[in-house]
């Protein structure tokens, strides 16, 4: 089982697995061309591609969108982020998937209104990835200028390959975690969903 392999072999397996999703590879290539500061392709499109391959489904099945995070704290205006979003929309216009691009330096400006809890300003894209509702989501991949894959996985890859959803109670409320886990379980009933920790 891939989740029990040494980490270097898990990384190789991750690249091989994600490479079966042609849309994902195209998003990586086109995002690299946009040259966004500190960017990663992250969240559902990554771990859900793994879940699909591990369970024998088509690689893109059930993937709602492709999330691209970047970090630019030089201009926190909506206008600056919107200019990037528009450029990205043009770059991805012909792809058979929605690509959502967001500046993680601005998240604290809208997070509380959307989720009901305050979000301290993120200091990097990695810090934003660290705050996902489930540790399984805490995964990012980008292409470096020399073509190498940079993988950010603060909780490792074992849970991703073993279909385990584990809560990450650092920011997102319990209700957000449970709603996401329930939605994923409907699409991938093979998942093992761990409960929210009770203090």
Report which secondary-structure segment, H or E, holds 121.
none
Domain ranges of the chain: 2-193
Q: Which mean pLDDT values do the consecutive 10-residue runs of the chain (199 residues) have?
A: 73 95 97 96 96 97 96 96 97 95 95 87 96 95 94 95 94 91 96 92
Question: Are 196 and 35 a contacting pair, CB within 8 Å?
Answer: no
What is the per-residue pLDDT for 112?
Answer: 87
d(CA 128, CA 104): 6
**What is the arrangement of strands in the sheet containing 98-103, beginning at the earlier edge strand?**
98-103, 65-70, 40-42, 140-143, 149-152
What is the per-residue pLDDT for 2?
Answer: 63
pLDDT tens figures, 21-65: 999 999 999 999 999 999 999 999 999 999 999 999 999 999 999
Read off the DSSP letter of residue 134.
B
What is the per-residue pLDDT for 105?
Answer: 97
What is the per-residue pLDDT for 1?
Answer: 58
d(CA 102, CA 38): 12
Cα distances (Å, whole numbers) of residue 136 to 6, 43, 86, 116, 192: 18, 8, 30, 23, 11
What is the per-residue pLDDT for 172?
Answer: 83
């Amino acid at each position: 089982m891939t989740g029990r392999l040494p980490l270097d072999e898990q990384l190789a397996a991750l690249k091989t697995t994600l490479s079966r999703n042609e849309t994902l590879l195209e998003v990586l290539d086109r995002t690299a061309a946009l040259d966004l500061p500190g960017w990663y392709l992250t969240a559902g499109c990554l771990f859900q591609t793994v879940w699909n391959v591990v369970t024998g489904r088509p690689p893109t099945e059930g993937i709602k969108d492709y999330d691209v995070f970047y970090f630019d704290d030089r201009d926190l205006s909506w206008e600056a982020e919107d200019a990037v979003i528009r450029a990205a929309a043009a770059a991805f216009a012909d792809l058979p998937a929605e690509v959502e691009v967001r500046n993680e330096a601005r998240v604290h400006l809208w997070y509380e209104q959307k989720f009901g809890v305050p979000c301290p300003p993120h200091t990097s894209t990695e810090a934003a990835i660290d705050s996902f509702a489930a540790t399984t989501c805490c995964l990012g991949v980008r292409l470096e200028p020399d073509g190498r894959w940079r993988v950010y996985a603060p909780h490792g890859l074992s849970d991703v390959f073993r279909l385990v959803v584990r809560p990450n109670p650092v920011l997102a409320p319990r209700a957000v975690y449970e709603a996401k886990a329930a939605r994923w379980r409907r699409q991938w009933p093979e998942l093992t969903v761990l409960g929210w920790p009770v203090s």
